[in-house]
Amino acid sequence: MAENMNVFNNMVSQLASIDIKMFKEDKCITLLCYLPNSWDNNFMAISSTSSSLNLKDVVTSFLSEEVR
């Protein structure tokens, strides 16, 4: 998961370097789509508990799950 987060953050940084700004919700959706299929259950759990996506909450949830 940490490696996926590094790749994701690198991608966001590259987009920012060419003046493409992403809203927080767009980052969340992009991160969720980028994750491997093995994380689908976690995605469903997160999306069902919240009406709006928060990148910090998503990252925290995935990192916590990886530790378990």
Residue 53 is predicted with a pLDDT of 66
3-state secondary structure the chain: CHHHHHHHHHHHHHHHHCCCCCCHHHHHHHHHHHCCHHHHHHHHHHHHHCCCCCHHHHHHHHHHHHHC
Which of the residue ranges 16-20, 26-30, 42-46 would you say has the lowest mean pLDDT? Answer: 42-46
Average pLDDT, the chain: 76
| pLDDT bracket for residue 48 (50, 70, 90) | low
Domain boundaries, the chain: 2-67
**What's the pLDDT tens digit per position in 29-44?**
787 777 777 766 666 6
